[in-house]
Amino acid sequence: MKNLKTIVLSNQEISPGYFRMKILAPGYHKMSQPGQFVMFRVQRSLLPLLRRPFGIFRVGFMPADCDNMPAKEFIEIIYKVVGDGTGIMQGLHYGDPVELLGPLGTGFDCGEAATEKILVGGGIGLVPLYSLAEKLVETSQVRLLMGGRTRDDIITVTEFERLGVETYVSTEDGSLGEAGLVTQVLEKKLKEYPQATVFACGPMPMIEAVQKICLQYNVPLQVSLEALMACGVGACLSCVVKGEGHTESDPRYLCTCTSGPVFAAEKLDWDAADVKIAKSGGCK
Ligand SMILES: Cc1cc2nc3c(=O)[nH]c(=O)nc-3n(C[C@H](O)[C@H](O)[C@H](O)COP(=O)(O)OP(=O)(O)OC[C@H]3O[C@@H](n4cnc5c(N)ncnc54)[C@H](O)[C@@H]3O)c2cc1C
Ligand code: FES
């Protein structure tokens, strides 16, 4: 983990309200694991005071320049504009200074090679699944089930297809792919592939539904949780969730920023209200 003062390389709107930002990030190729995240700060701006967490979509290299400059290593993040921080981010351009603390957290465990892998992404929850897919396709058949409210929420699916991932799109309003919830598609796929391992990231109601389905079909599940985070390094405790076996006399809290954001489903207490972290308030 390091605090990197760097610059924006590009920042483009890829769907209404969704932006894709490329950031110069030397060292990230070696350092980062699928499912990890960065705490992002707009350097010149005092507000928002706190950094904001974003999953790493992809780590890559820009081709070396003709004047023999080394290839530039970058990360890409994809973000939805929802408030002050992301509102400022959408106005950033090439060369703007920014700060990255990362890579942070515990990422996905790729599991056994050769078993079926099913990735479930809801809206912006798709982001950490791309670098996971890049790794999984080396050894396994990978299927991506991507859900959103409307077609605007369906992003970067063709890039997964280019990796060799089979993709299934569903939207709640039926404007793209199958009409309905991504969890309905998951049930169908688990009937076809009962030996699969499932990886999920998205809004908390989707994650809870995925957990119930995976429990019912008795398949392993890893979830990436989006808690409200103030520090990202285990210091402020704004992101805690209750772990498996938690009781008042034997508290088992887990920091989403250090023990997660990716958890094996059985490590969490799904009956506890605190698992529903994304619905609660948090630090600014
Ligand atoms: C590990 C991790 C990875 C993330 N990856 C991504 C990503 O790849 N792309 C992306 O767009 N977002 C991602 N998020 C969520 C992102 O951090 C927030 O959307 C962002 O901090 C909002 O900042 P803001 O200042 O624009 O909004 P704020 O003004 O802080 O908040 C605006 C609204 O969004 C809600 N909100 C803020 N943070 C979250 C959250 N974590 N979950 C649910 N609601 C929230 C607030 O309650 C409020 O209603 C991730 C969060 C975590 C913890
Ligand atoms: S965000 Fe501060 S402890 Fe997790």
Residue 273 has pLDDT above 60, yes or no: no
**For residue 87, which ligand has an atom nearest its CA?**
1
Q: What tens digit of pLDDT does each residue of 180-223 get?
A: 999 999 999 999 999 999 999 999 999 999 999 999 999 999 99
224 in contact with ligand 2, CB cutoff 6 A: no
What's the gap in Å between 216 CA and the centre of ligand 2?
32
Identify the structural domains of the chain with CATH numbers, from first to last: 2-104 (2.40.30.10)
What's the gap in Å between 32 CA and the centre of ligand 1?
21
Residue-level pLDDT at 7: 94
Q: How does residue 13 score in pLDDT terms, banded at 50, 70 and 90? A: very high
239 in contact with ligand 2, CB cutoff 6 A: yes
Nearest Cα residue to atom 31 of ligand 1: 83
What's the gap in Å between 190 CA and the centre of ligand 2?
34
- Ligand 2 atom closest to the Cα of residue 236 is 2
236 in contact with ligand 2, CB cutoff 6 A: yes
Strand order in the sheet with 58-62: 52-55, 37-42, 97-104, 2-15, 18-24, 72-80, 58-62
55 in contact with ligand 1, CB cutoff 6 A: yes
Residue-level pLDDT at 2: 86
Q: What tens digit of pLDDT does each residue of 39-94 get?
A: 999 766 666 667 899 999 999 998 766 556 666 899 999 999 999 899 999 999 99
Q: What tens digit of pLDDT does each residue of 153-167 get?
A: 999 999 999 999 999
Residue-level pLDDT at 283: 26
- pLDDT (average), residues 93-97: 94
What's the gap in Å between 180 CA and the centre of ligand 1?
25
Residue-level pLDDT at 246: 87
277 in contact with ligand 2, CB cutoff 6 A: no
Residue-level pLDDT at 124: 95
Return the bridge partners of 166, or none.
Answer: 143
- Ligand 2 atom closest to the Cα of residue 239 is 4
Is the pLDDT higher at 273 or at 120? 120
Q: What tens digit of pLDDT does each residue of 16-28 get?
A: 999 999 999 999 9
Residue 129 has pLDDT above 90, yes or no: yes
